Chain A
Amino acid sequence: MNLSVDLGGLQLKNPIMPASGCFGFGKEFSQFYDLSELGAVVIKAATGEQRFGNPTPRVAETPSGMLNAIGLQNPGVDKIMEQELPFLDSYDTPIFANVAGSTLEEYVQVAEKLSQHPTIKALELNISCPNVKEGGIQFGTDPNLAYELTRAVKQVSKKPLFVKLSPNVTDITELARAVEEAGADGLSMINTLTGMAIDKQTRKPLIANETGGLSGPAIKPIAIRMIHQVREQTDLPIIGMGGICTADDVIEFLLAGSNAVAVGTANFHNPLVCKEIIDELPEALKRYKFTSLDELREVAVS
């Protein structure tokens, strides 16, 4: 079965990609399978300068999910381009760069550098990280700021721009509309939900940052609902994510209105999960009486 998809002008051989932050820069997972099998790879967020992130512990398991507060640890955009991108060049799959920052200027600077790099085929604008003190989620919860930032980044980047939306808002469609008006080429949704868990023995939060982003199957129904809401308002391509673990989950996300999907937390549960989902997707589609991905998409939009 042909699994290829057109995602805002980018041709993907299948709709499955690992989500930013859950896959590093690909090297670790390349020992488990050939990364060329993936529809795309979204690399870990880049900021202007290197960041060391938050104190540990940075993760905690919760029912059917996990909290994380890594804090955008990364070596900075220049070192990423110099030390991480050459490795990914050898794989036949489009590389998406995730762009983060504390200020509008930092976002613009990082986006400009990455968009000029030949290895990078698209940008994902991270306006929804809940774990950093400055920037991140501020831009993703205020439609005016989201508009300004998206517009500013569009002016310096010729690569397709996907804006990653935060679910930590009352009405996500407002944000989707704002970034669409600003020129976004697509949407990535959803980022993690802000959460917290407390250790009963020590009476302290389970992660040092106190709050973290909740991910995993626990948030899947929220992601499905939000993608459905946004799909009713826009024709922009959507990369759907939020707790995907199986090929069945992928079908559910496509039915909700996603054009492609990203797999995050499940990579920690099973490092081979993306490859296994790609292998199982044709059978799963047949099980639900779809003869092609196009047929599924027609159902989704009606």
Chain B
Amino acid sequence: MILQQDLSIVSNKVIAKDTYEMVLEGDLVQQIKRPGQFIHIKIGEGFSHMLRRPFSIADYSLETNQLVIIYKVIGEGSKWLSKQSDQSFINVLGPLGNGFEIDHLANQNVLVVGGGVGVPPLYALTKQLSQRNDVKAVLGYQSSDSVFYEEKFNKYANTTVATNDGSYGEEGFVTDVINQMQNQVDYYFACGPLIMLGAIQLQLRDTQGLLSVEERMGCGVGACFACVCEADNEKGYVKICQDGPVFHSNEVTLYESIS
């Protein structure tokens, strides 16, 4: 069930360049079904900011009633969020979207690929996948100061970090790392910029996978048709907020839209 609720901020701290980790607590957490779902956060006081901002859930615990989001300060909304202090409340709509379906996977070689702010939802996913599968994670960042969560991922997956400028880990894009991989991949998961998702979908086109897609959103619940994406289904489109944000690699074709 989708709830609209004030969640309390347990912590809100910098973990990399312009990148914050925020821990939120409240009963809404009990409604989270699986990794890859997201929350829609109200920004500011009154009606100065009419659109909520969607953030993927990086981690959650039904025991502690807490969830984690990781966000980069880019515009006014994320700047406002970064200034919110511990113990204050923010208004959250969620959990939204369907997330990563992983119940069918066991004893598989799984590849998890994240780029920048696309990395967060893969963390809870990797934790859960690692219980029954062999997981390899490839995480791409701009440079050494923007790297986050490497050690956390390492606990659950054989993790390789790549930076665009080579200042940390492998030099280049996540696709360069995947190119050099020897082991066979049975299934993959990816989240990141559209251009990265398209490149991976093309690179791994003979492998089944799930892609988490982002788009600027309006309502977040499927009513406004702001975040649609062309799809290979009867309707010809999917709504990213409601039908996604995770889609099967057969369903959405991302590499055509970026070429």
The interface of chain A, by Cβ under 8 A from chain B, is 21-24, 28-29, 31-32, 44, 52-53, 56-61, 63-66, 68, 70, 73, 75, 216-217, 245, 265-272
Residue of A nearest to B223 (CB): A24
Known: A56-B215, A272-B4. A66 touches B221 (CB 8 A): no
- Check A59 against B42 for contact (C-beta < 8 Å): no
B15 at the interface (CB under 8 A from A): no
- Check B223 against A22 for contact (C-beta < 8 Å): yes
Quick one: which of A28, A44, A269 contacts B51, CB cutoff 8 A? A269
Residues from chain B with Cβ under 8 Å of A267 in the complex: 219, 223
- Check B52 against A269 for contact (C-beta < 8 Å): yes
- Check A64 against B224 for contact (C-beta < 8 Å): no
Residues from chain B with Cβ under 8 Å of A58 in the complex: 216, 218, 225-228
Known: A21-B224, A28-B219, A28-B222. A61 touches B51 (CB 8 A): yes
Q: How far is the CA of A270 from the CA of B52 in the complex (A)?
A: 9
Query: Distance (Å) between the CB of A258 and the closest chain B CB?
Result: 19
Q: How far is the CA of A28 from the CA of B228 in the complex (A)?
A: 16
State which residues 127-161 of B face A: CB under 8 Å. Answer: none
Query: Distance (Å) between the CB of A98 and the closest chain B CB?
Result: 13
- Check B228 against A56 for contact (C-beta < 8 Å): yes
Residues from chain B with Cβ under 8 Å of A24 in the complex: 222-225
Q: How far is the CA of A63 from the CA of B225 in the complex (A)?
A: 22
Among B42, B226, B242, find the residue whose CB has the most chain A CB atoms closer than 10 A.
B226
Residue of A nearest to B230 (CB): A52
Given contacts A28-B223, A68-B224, 10 further A-B contacts (CB under 8 A): A24-B222, A24-B223, A28-B219, A28-B221, A29-B223, A59-B216, A61-B51, A266-B47, A268-B218, A271-B221
Residue of B nearest to A71 (CB): B225
Q: How far is the CA of A268 from the CA of B47 in the complex (A)?
A: 11
Q: How far is the CA of A53 from the CA of B220 in the complex (A)?
A: 18
Query: Distance (Å) between the CB of A214 and the closest chain B CB?
Result: 11
B229 at the interface (CB under 8 A from A): yes
- Check A56 against B216 for contact (C-beta < 8 Å): yes
Quick one: which of B48, B216, B228 contacts A53, CB cutoff 8 A? B228
Map CB proximity to A onto B232-243 as digits: 1 under 8 Å, 0 otherwise.
Answer: 000111000010
Residue of A nearest to B217 (CB): A59
- Check B50 against A23 for contact (C-beta < 8 Å): no
Query: Distance (Å) between the CB of B72 and the closest chain A CB?
Result: 13
Known: A66-B51, A217-B50. A59 touches B1 (CB 8 A): no
- Check B218 against A59 for contact (C-beta < 8 Å): yes
Quick one: which of B219, B227, B229 contacts A271, CB cutoff 8 A? B219
Q: How far is the CA of A32 from the CA of B220 in the complex (A)?
A: 13
Map CB proximity to A onto B191-206 as digits: 1 under 8 Å, 0 otherwise.
Answer: 0000000000000000
Query: Distance (Å) between the CB of A57 and the closest chain B CB?
Result: 4
Among B42, B50, B215, B217, find the residue whose CB has the most chain A CB atoms closer than 10 A.
B50
Q: How far is the CA of A75 from the CA of B242 in the complex (A)?
A: 17
